């Protein structure tokens, strides 16, 4: 069966005052109908830029230099701006990281919801208003009819995020892109929002692309996981395989840095040494070799390909043939926090 979305060898560059910088390179993955795919990695690794390219929202300085984004039978890198406007909010919707900056502060919640519904579903104003109230009620917003008259500043962070989900799902999109949808929320509201997204997904068979740095969220919600580092995909696997048998040293480092219940009170958390390289000064060879405890001379000279090591499991690392890789760092047992 053909994937709903197929991203193939995507390369994205941004123009600066002096030159051009490549922020995403050789990114390939697929998303199937009804599937939740998680994209994880440190800040600046290219997660959000990849999602914005799918929506056609890179801005005037951003440009897709190479690759294809196939959505059904259409290549989104080649369609007109008019066609992209028809797709956005209708067939592909997006929940942004900060709802306060995504909702227009000078328009009421009702006005903003009704506008999109009228545009994409061709409803009358009256029907669109009733449908908007129904959607707000569906995402758990109390007094939905009265809430239509409120402005974004009058709502809590959790309520604003629920409004964004209602707007995103109003047209029953085939693909929902959620960019850090729970980052600014407390853990109780986080759980409610994630549960809500999963419930609505089951009702409409919507595919979800969940972008986050929270591996706990990924473990609870994702079917497959894509790990990105320095603008590239370094590992891809189903969620059970990735957490049980991570192969790339970067993935191992991310998982080792998660606190566990069995940790002793004074036990230090593991951290990955160094920092993510600048897009203007990417290292030659493997982009992770400057931080990798297993790096060899060959890693510094030639960039590895994203290779399949077993069905559904891909890794970009010269060391995968030495399977299994030992942990990136040993968990400290005696050193205490001072």
What was the pLDDT predicted at 261? 66
Q: What pLDDT is stored for residue 220 in this prediction?
A: 87
pTM (two decimals): 0.87
**For residue 212, pLDDT beyond 60:** yes
Residue 331 has pLDDT above 60, yes or no: no
HEC assignment per residue over 288-300? CCCCCCCCCHHHH
The token pair that represents 89 in the structure block:
């909010």
- Where does a domain end: 170, 204, 232? 170
119 part of a folded domain: yes
What pLDDT shows up at residue 189?
Answer: 76
Please state, in angstroms and rounded to a whole number, the distance separating the CA atoms of residues 223 and 193: 18
pLDDT at 236: 96
Percent of the chain predicted with pLDDT > 90: 46
Give the residue carrying structure tokens 């908007």.
Answer: 132
Taken in order 64, 69, 74, 75, the sign of the CA dihedral is positive
Q: What percent of the chain has pLDDT over 70?
A: 91
**pLDDT of 317:** 92
Evaluate whether residue 254 is within a structural domain. Answer: yes
Confidence band, pLDDT 50/70/90 cuts, at residue 134: very high
Q: How far is CA 157 from CA 104, 154, 179, 180, 221, in A?
A: 15, 10, 15, 13, 21
Of the three residues 170, 190, 222, the one that is the final residue of a domain is 170
**What is the per-residue pLDDT across 95-131, written as a single tens digit (0 to 9) for each?**
887 766 778 899 999 999 999 899 888 899 999 999 9
pLDDT tens readout for residues 254-306: 888 877 666 666 667 778 888 888 888 888 999 999 999 888 888 888 999 99
Question: 211 falls in which pLDDT band (50, 70, 90)?
Answer: very high
Domain assignment present for residue 165? The answer is yes
Largest CA distance in the chain: 68
Query: What confidence category does residue 215 fall into, taking pLDDT thresholds of 50, 70 and 90?
Result: confident
The three-state secondary structure class of 123 is coil
User: With contact defined as beta carbons under 8 Å apart, do 290 and 283 qualify?
Assistant: yes
Q: Residue 224's CB: how many other CB atoms inside 10 A?
A: 21
Give the tokens for residue 136.
Answer: 């707000």
In eight-state DSSP terms, residue 276 is P
User: What's the domain count of the chain?
Assistant: 2
Query: Which band of pLDDT confidence, cut at 50, 70 and 90, is reported for residue 170?
Result: confident
What range defines the domain where residue 133 resides?
100-170
Decide if 56 is inside a domain: no
Residue 295 counted as domain residue: yes
What is the predicted pLDDT for the residue at 156?
86
Which of the 8 DSSP states describes residue 176?
A: E
pLDDT of residue 65: 93
Quick: pLDDT tens for 244-261.
999 999 999 888 887 766
Question: With 70 as the cut, is the pLDDT of residue 193 above it?
Answer: yes
* Residue 157 counted as domain residue: yes
In a domain, 35, yes or no: no
Q: Is residue 146 part of a domain?
A: yes
């Amino acid at each position: 069966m053909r994937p709903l979305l197929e991203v193939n060898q995507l390369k994205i560059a941004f123009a600066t005052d002096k030159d051009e910088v490549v922020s995403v390179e050789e990114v390939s993955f697929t998303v199937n109908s009804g599937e939740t795919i998680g994209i994880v990695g440190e800040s600046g690794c290219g997660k959000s830029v990849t999602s914005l390219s799918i929506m056609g929202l890179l801005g005037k300085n951003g440009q897709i230099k190479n690759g294809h984004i196939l959505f059904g039978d259409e290549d989104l890198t080649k369609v007109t701006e008019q066609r992209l406007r028809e797709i956005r909010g209708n067939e592909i919707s997006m929940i942004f990281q900060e709802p306060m900056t995504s909702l227009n502060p000078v328009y009421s919640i009702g006005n903003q919801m009704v506008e999109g519904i009228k545009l994409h579903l061709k409803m009358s104003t009256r029907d669109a208003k009733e449908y908007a109230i129904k959607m707000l009620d569906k995402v758990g917003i109390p007094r939905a009819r009265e809430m239509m008259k409120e402005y974004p500043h009058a709502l809590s962070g959790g309520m604003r995020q629920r409004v964004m989900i209602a707007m995103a799902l109003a047209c029953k999109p085939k693909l929902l892109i959620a960019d850090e949808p729970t980052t600014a929320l407390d853990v109780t509201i986080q759980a409610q929002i994630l549960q809500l997204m999963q419930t609505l997904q089951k009702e409409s068979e919507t595919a979800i692309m969940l972008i986050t740095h929270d591996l706990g969220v990924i473990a609870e919600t994702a079917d497959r996981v894509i790990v990105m580092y320095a603008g590239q995909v370094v590992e891809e696997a189903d969620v059970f395989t990735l957490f049980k048998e991570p192969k790339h040293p970067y993935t191992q480092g991310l998982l080792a840095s998660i606190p566990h219940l069995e940790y002793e009170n004074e036990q230090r958390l593991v951290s990955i040494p160094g920092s993510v390289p600048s897009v203007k000064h990417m290292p030659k060879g493997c982009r992770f070799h400057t931080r990798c405890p297993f790096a060899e001379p060959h890693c510094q000279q030639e960039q590895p390909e994203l290779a399949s090591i077993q069905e559904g499991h891909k890794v970009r690392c010269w060391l995968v043939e030495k399977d299994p890789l030992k942990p990136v760092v040993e968990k400290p047992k005696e050193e205490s926090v001072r």
